[in-house]
Amino acid sequence: MKKNYLRWSEVPYAGEKKLPVNPVSPSAGSWSLNYLKRDKDKNFLNPDGTIMQFPIKKPSAIDFEKELKIVQRTLNHLTHNQEQLAIYYGTGAPTKQWTPIIDRLVDTYGVSPVHACRILAAVQMAINDTMIVVWELKYKWDVARPNQFDEELETVICTPRFPSYPSGHASMSGCAEVVLSYFFPMEAKKLRKIAFDDAYSRLYAGVHFEADNSEGLNLGRYIGNMIVDHLKTQKNEDGQSIDHPYREYRNANIITEDYKQIIPFDFKDDCTSRLRTKNAKESKELMESIESIESSIESIESIESNDDQKSHQKHILPRRSPWHF
C-alpha cells in the first residue's frame, strides 16, 4: 500500500519558520561516475553495462509516522555510548572516519605502495559512485527529515541540509565495508560492525529514520558487490589477477573505543534547528552563571559580615582591668 509522506523541500525544520534553503549539492546525482555508468535514459548501469535494480524500497512503501516513533523512542532512551557514536560519526564528511581505516589496514597488512594506491582508489571511487546514486535518489524522492515530521524534535547534532532518504552515511558505509572486505577478508566482521555503527549513529543522532539506514546499508552493499565483481575481472599483462586479498589475520586496530577523531578538526556545530546538545549546553551555562552569581553573593555577604563585625568591634570600648585607675 502506497503511503504519503512529507517532502523535505516543503516543511521547515523544528525550531525554524522558513523552508529549507541552500540545499547541499542538489545536482550531484548527475556527476561523473567511475565504475558505474548511465544510459541515454539516465538509468544507472553496473560496470558491465546492465541496468541496476537497486534493492531499496520506494519511500511510498514506508510508514514514516511509524518510523518517527522509533526516532522519538530512541532519543528518549539514548545511552551514553549511542550519543558518543552519533557525535563521532556525525563529525565531518561521511568519509572522515573511513579514510583512516583504509590507511590502518594498509599499514597493518604491509601493503605495497602500488597496491595501497589501488586499494585507496578502489574504495574511494566506489564510495563516490555510491554517493552519486544516493544523491540522485535523495532529491528525486525528497523525503523530509525526522525534525520536519516532529516540530518539537531536538537532535543530537545539526540536521543536514538535504533530503533524508536514503542515508548517505549508511550507503557509503555498506559500500566501503564490502570493498574493503574484498581486499581484507579476515577483517570482514569488524568492518561490518563499523558499517552498522556508522549507519545507525544517524538514528541515534535523530537526523535519520531507521529505514534510511537499513535501506541505505542494503543499497551500499549492493553497489559494493557490483564493483567487487568488476575488480575481480581485472588482470595484469600476464593474465593474472591484479588483486591478492590478504588472508592472514593480523587483527587490525580499526574499531574506535575512545571516540576521538584520527584527524581532529574544530568543526562548528551552529544550526538554527532545535538541538538537544545546544539546549543542554545553554542550560549548563545558565546553571554555571547562576552558581557563579550565588557564589559572588556569598562572597560579598561574607565580606560585609566581616566588615560589620570589625566595625562593631571598633565601637566597643575595651574592658578595663579591675586595677586600672
CATH code assigned at 259: 1.10.606.20
State the Cα torsion 274-96-202-191 to the nearest 10°. -170
User: Is residue 77 in a domain?
Assistant: yes
Answer yes or no: is 325 within a domain: no
pTM over 0.75: yes
The answer to whether residues 64 and 211 belong to one domain is yes
DSSP-derived letter for residue 156 is S
In this structure, the answer to whether residues 25 and 144 fall within a common structural domain is yes
Residue 105 sits in the same domain as residue 158:
yes
Residue 296: domain span: 275-318
In a domain, 2, yes or no: no
User: Based on the domain organization, do 302 and 230 belong to the same domain?
Assistant: no
Q: How many domains does the chain have?
A: 2
In one-letter notation, the amino acid at residue 319 is: R
Asked if residue 13 is part of any domain, the answer here is yes
Q: Chain-wide mean pLDDT for the chain?
A: 90
Is 323 part of a structural domain of the chain? no
pLDDT tens digits, residue range 210-249? 999 999 999 999 999 999 999 999 999 999 999 999 999 9
CA–centroid distance for 272 within its chain = 18
Q: What are the tens digits of pLDDT across the range 10-68? A: 999 999 999 998 899 999 999 999 999 999 999 999 999 999 999 999 999 999 999 99
8 Å CB contact between 209 and 71: yes
Query: Which DSSP letter does residue 44 get?
Result: E
Residue 48 one-letter amino acid: D
Q: Are residues 231 and 210 in the same domain?
A: yes
- Asked if 54 and 222 count as a contact pair (C-beta separation under 8 A), the reply is yes
